[in-house]
Each structure stands twice: as structure tokens, then as C-alpha cells.
């Protein structure tokens, strides 16, 4: 009899898990509520929607994000396929047309013979069936309360935000220039708005005094470091701005000059009509956003098509609740995947979905497997979020610091990349008696 699994949530992690399980002959019931009730930042009914940035970060073999994407490629990642099919210019970053990206994933899921997409809210978990909860940081209130009842633990959260998106035709190109941190100015793929010291200081004052959306009384200002609102950074330190989102480093203009500060815009769609602000997540009120951004050179007549917004990201206390297989310790039928486990970021969430699906396959076949080594980025992330030594989990992006390297001073600059690939290939070899990393059942 065909095995069956329920998956709650059709974001990046849920779609990755559904895709792998379905390709291994498992019948998947994939539940998604967004067509019936959207939250503040969801815009379409497509699956795997990118609600914040449109980049999957660096492609470099020296970078943790590049290492993790290579591991995902070896594991036949649906998300990585969608990104490569919809890639747009982004310098060293894997930037995508977010609409084409989601449509690609939606097509693969809806057209798979082993996946049944069910558009409804799940308010109660059926503990008698093998289930993956991949509802993400925007879990509905009803499901969240059911998760709390199951875990008996408090849910944690941090505040996240997205950046504004504007139309390219509203930019005055007489006042901006093209550049990229890793290329010559003539090959630049980012639109750069130069600021002298006086303009920078004036802009910082605008950010510091901007009227923001008031948080609810029960929401403390708990920000994830990688997604701090630009106005919060401005209040903290000008130095942080100049070393972060407004850094002029390597952004030389057409005259060979380096400005005091630079605001960057990155292409957001395939037809090159939309651009988003790099590192400009914000909780500023919408009229204020437009007024302040219009003070930047070249944006006097800007047209904003999506304002920056802030939202609460929920995640569970995985070290106390889950084992290394991302399985609930007190209910072996229930698994978690994605950002709700405490990994932070698109590729981190997607890779978590792949790993959880492999663990579910092992559980369905009554097989115990060894988890990926901490010498791989996937294994290191998994170890971090399930390490029982953590009393309260803090969300984590992939980074070289969590890798377990025997020789951190190896001469090869690609040591981490090569080592992680060997470990993932070894992991795949260890599961190939029950899991097919391929598309044979599409």
C-alpha cells in the first residue's frame, strides 16, 4: 500500500519536502491556506512565495550560502532549480524574478501525480498520521495554539521586516550610477545612489526621527540581527550603516571616485522593471517611507509598488522539542521543517525541508540513519538548532563558524566547499538504499 504523509505549509520547506517524498512514491497531502487568508506580506496565491528579499545570497564557493546551495544541488533541490530557471542579474548573489520563481514551484507541485494540494487551514494536527509541520514563521493563530498544546512549551519569536520595491522608470539615471562590489563599475548590476557626508547625515536624521508603526504591547523589540530595520540601525550607529547597508566599499563611480556612502538597488523581476532596496528592511509608516526615500538623489519621483513592512516570525524551541531527525521527541509521527525550527533564511529553510523529508522516508521504512556530518553546512545547521545545550534557541543563518572543520587553516581556499561536498555525497550514499534523490516519479 502506498505510504502517505501530511505536510502543513507550502512555503519553501514544505514544497521541498513534498517534492522529495512524492518523487519517492509517497502520497503527499500538502495543506496551504494562503489562497483563503493571506497575511500582511503575502501578495500572490503561488507556492514558495518570496516575501522579503529576492536573492538566495552569494554564489561564491568561499561563502557559506554558496556552500549550502551546492549541497542543495546535490540533493536535487526544487527551490534551487526554480532559482536557476528564473535567475536575473545580481552580481555575486543568486537573484531571481520572484514571480517566475514561485510559478515554477507551483507548477511542479500541482502537476505531480503524488501530490494532493489542499487549500484549507489546518487548525488541529492529526497525530495518528505522519505529518511535517512547515507552516513557517507566519503560522496561523489556530495552528499555533495547537502546536503549543502539543509541545507544552512557549513559542519564541523575533521581528522581521522587508524592504520597499520601486519601479525602474521612476529613477533619475542622471543622478545615479551602475556598480557592483565584485566587478568593475562598467559591469555593475546594482543601481547606486551616492551620498556625500552632509547628505548621509541628513538622511540618517530622517531615519532616526521617522514615524514607525507601533508594535503591539505584547511584542518586545526582538530583532533578528540579519533583518534589523534600517531606522533601528540608524538609531544605533552611523558606523554600522557605513559598514553595512550604506557602505561605499568597492562601489566606485564612473569617474573613479568612491562616495562617502551609497544606497543600492537590486533588480527584482525578469523584465527589469522593478528594483528593491538592499538592506533597507523597515517598519516606517508608508507615507513616511515615500517622503524619506524621495530625499535620496535620483528618487525625487519614485514610485513604490511594495512598501517595506514588519512582521512577527514564530519559531519553536527546537533543542527542547526535537531530536536530530527534526522529529518531535514526544510524538514520533510529527516532524518540523523550515524556518519554524529556528533556521533563518530562504535556503536554510528549503534545505531543512529536504532533510526532514529524508528523515520521514527513513521513519516510514523503519530505518535509522546517520544525520549529515557537521562538516557539511546542512549538518551543521541541523546540529545547531537541535543542540540540547541551547536553553533558548536564537535563529541562525548558515555561516562558516558553525562548520566542524578538522583543519581550519587548510591552505586551499575552497577547503570548506570541498569538504562539505564530500560529506553530502557520503550522506547520499548512506541513504540510497531507501531514498532516491531524483525525479523518477514526476
Q: Is 401 annotated as a binding residue?
A: no
Nearest to 385 by CA among 362, 356, 418: 356
Clarify whether residues 145 and 225 are in a common domain. Answer: no
CB neighbour burial string for 246-261, b if at least 16 within 10 angstroms, e if fewer:
bbbeebbbeeeeebeb
**Pick from 308, 341, 374: which residue ends a domain?**
308
* Global confidence as pTM: 0.78
Q: Is 342 annotated as a binding residue?
A: no
Which range of residues forms the domain containing residue 216? 165-308
Task: For residue range 8-41, list pLDDT tens digits in order.
Answer: 999 999 999 999 999 999 999 999 988 777 666 6
Nearest to 162 by CA among 252, 228, 212: 228
Count of the separate structural domains present in the chain? 2
Clarify whether residues 111 and 218 are in a common domain. Answer: no
pLDDT at 407: 53
Q: Is 207 annotated as a binding residue?
A: no
Q: Which residues contact 58 (CB under 8 A, 6 or more apart)?
A: 65, 66, 92, 93, 94
Clarify whether residues 368 and 406 are in a common domain. Answer: yes
Clarify whether residues 113 and 204 are in a common domain. Answer: no
Q: Is 398 helix (H, G, I), strand (E, B) or coil?
A: coil
Task: Give domain status of residue 438, yes or no.
Answer: no
pLDDT at 435: 92
pLDDT at 120: 93
The DSSP output letter for 185 is G
CB neighbour burial string for 166-204, b if at least 16 within 10 angstroms, e if fewer:
bebeebeeeebbbbbeeeebeebbbbbbbbeeebbeebb
Q: Is 14 annotated as a binding residue?
A: yes
Clarify whether residues 9 and 152 are in a common domain. Answer: yes
Clarify whether residues 169 and 304 are in a common domain. Answer: yes
**Pick from 253, 277, 308: which residue ends a domain?**
308
Distance CA 78, CA 13 (A): 10
Domain CATH number, residue 248: 2.40.30
Clarify whether residues 173 and 79 are in a common domain. Answer: no
Q: Is 159 annotated as a binding residue?
A: no
Asked if 328 and 151 touch (Cβ cutoff 8 Å), the reply is yes
Clarify whether residues 407 and 354 are in a common domain. Answer: yes
Average pLDDT value over all residues in the chain: 87
Clarify whether residues 68 and 88 are in a common domain. Answer: yes
DSSP assignment of 202-247 equals HHHHHHHT--BPPPPTT----B-GGG--HHHHHHH-HHHHHHTTT-
pLDDT at 259: 95
Distance CA 226, CA 395 (A): 10
pLDDT at 307: 85
Residues of the chain scoring pLDDT < 50: 185, 217-220, 411-412
Clarify whether residues 367 and 390 are in a common domain. Answer: yes
Domain CATH number, residue 83: 3.50.50.60
Task: Give domain status of residue 439, yes or no.
Answer: no
DSSP assignment of 277-324 equals ETT----B-HHHHHHHHTTSTT-TT--EEE---EEEEEE--HHHHB-T
Q: Tell which phi-psi region holds residue 320, choosing left (phi > 0), alpha (psi between -120 and 50) or beta.
A: alpha
Task: Give domain status of residue 436, yes or no.
Answer: no
Task: For residue range 144-155, list pLDDT tens digits in order.
Answer: 888 888 777 655
Clarify whether residues 97 and 176 are in a common domain. Answer: no
Radius of gyration of the chain (CA): 22
Distance CA 85, CA 240 (A): 35
Asked if 398 and 65 touch (Cβ cutoff 8 Å), the reply is yes
pLDDT at 218: 39
Clarify whether residues 209 and 151 are in a common domain. Answer: no
pLDDT at 226: 56
pLDDT at 117: 97
**Pick from 308, 329, 345: which residue ends a domain?**
308
Q: Is 10 annotated as a binding residue?
A: yes
Distance CA 314, CA 157 (A): 4
Distance CA 30, CA 35 (A): 13
Amino acid at each position: 500500500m502506498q505510504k502517505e504523509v501530511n505536510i502543513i505549509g507550502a512555503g519553501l520547506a514544505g514544497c521541498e519536502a513534498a517534492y522529495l517524498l512524492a518523487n519517492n512514491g509517497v502520497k503527499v497531502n500538502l495543506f496551504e491556506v494562503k489562497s483563503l487568508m493571506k497575511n500582511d506580506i503575502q501578495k500572490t496565491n503561488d507556492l514558495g512565495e518570496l516575501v522579503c528579499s529576492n536573492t538566495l545570497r552569494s554564489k561564491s564557493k568561499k561563502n557559506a550560502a554558496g556552500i549550502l546551495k551546492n549541497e542543495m544541488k546535490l540533493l536535487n533541490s526544487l527551490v534551487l532549480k526554480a532559482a536557476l530557471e528564473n535567475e536575473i542579474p545580481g552580481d555575486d548573489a543568486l537573484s531571481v524574478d520572484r514571480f517566475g520563481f514561485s510559478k515554477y514551484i507551483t507548477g511542479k507541485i500541482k502537476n505531480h501525480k503524488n501530490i494532493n494540494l489542499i487549500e484549507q487551514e489546518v487548525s488541529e494536527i492529526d497525530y495518528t498520521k505522519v505529518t511535517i509541520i512547515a507552516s513557517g514563521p507566519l503560522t496561523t493563530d489556530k495552528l499555533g495554539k495547537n502546536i503549543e498544546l502539543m509541545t507544552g512549551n512557549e513559542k519564541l519569536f523575533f521581528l522581521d521586516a522587508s524592504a520597499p520595491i520601486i519601479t525602474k522608470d521612476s529613477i533619475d539615471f542622471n543622478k545615479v550610477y551602475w556598480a557592483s562590489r565584485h566587478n568593475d563599475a562598467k559591469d555593475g548590476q546594482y543601481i547606486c545612489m551616492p551620498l556625500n557626508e552632509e547628505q548621509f547625515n541628513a538622511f540618517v536624521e530622517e531615519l532616526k526621527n521617522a514615524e514607525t508603526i507601533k508594535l503591539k504591547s505584547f511584542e518586545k523589540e526582538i530583532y533578528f540581527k540579519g533583518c534589523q530595520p534600517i531606522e533601528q540601525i540608524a538609531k544605533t550607529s552611523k558606523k554600522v550603516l557605513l559598514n553595512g547597508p550604506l557602505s561605499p566599499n568597492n562601489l566606485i563611480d564612473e569617474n573613479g571616485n568612491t562616495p562617502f556612502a551609497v544606497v543600492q538597488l537590486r533588480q527584482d523581476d525578469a523584465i527589469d522593471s522593478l528594483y528593491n532596496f538592499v538592506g533597507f528592511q523597515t517598519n516606517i509608516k508608508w507615507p513616511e517611507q515615500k517622503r524619506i526615500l524621495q530625499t535620496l538623489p535620483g528618487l525625487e519621483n519614485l514610485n513604490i509598488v511594495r512598501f517595506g513592512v514588519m512582521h512577527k516570525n514564530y519559531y519553536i524551541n527546537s533543542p527542547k522539542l526535537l531530536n536530530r531527525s527534526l522529529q518531535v521527541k514526544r510524538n514520533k509521527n510529527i516532524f518540523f521543517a523550515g524556518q519554524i525550527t529556528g533556521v533563518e533564511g530562504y535556503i536554510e529553510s528549503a534545505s531543512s525541508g529536504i532533510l526532514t523529508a529524508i528523515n520521514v522516508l527513513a521513519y516510514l521504512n523503519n530505518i535509522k540513519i546517520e544525520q549529515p556530518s557537521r562538516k557539511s553546512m546542512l549538518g551543521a545547521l541541523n546540529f545547531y538548532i537541535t543542540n540540547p545545550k541551547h536553553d533558548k534557541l536564537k535563529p541562525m543563518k548558515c555561516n562558516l563558524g558553525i562548520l566542524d572543520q578538522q583543519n581550519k587553516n587548510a591552505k586551499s581556499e575552497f577547503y570548506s566547499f570541498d569538504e562539505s561536498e564530500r560529506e553530502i555525497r557520503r550522506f547520499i550514499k548512506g541513504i540510497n538504499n531507501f531514498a532516491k534523490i531524483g525525479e523518477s516519479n514526476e
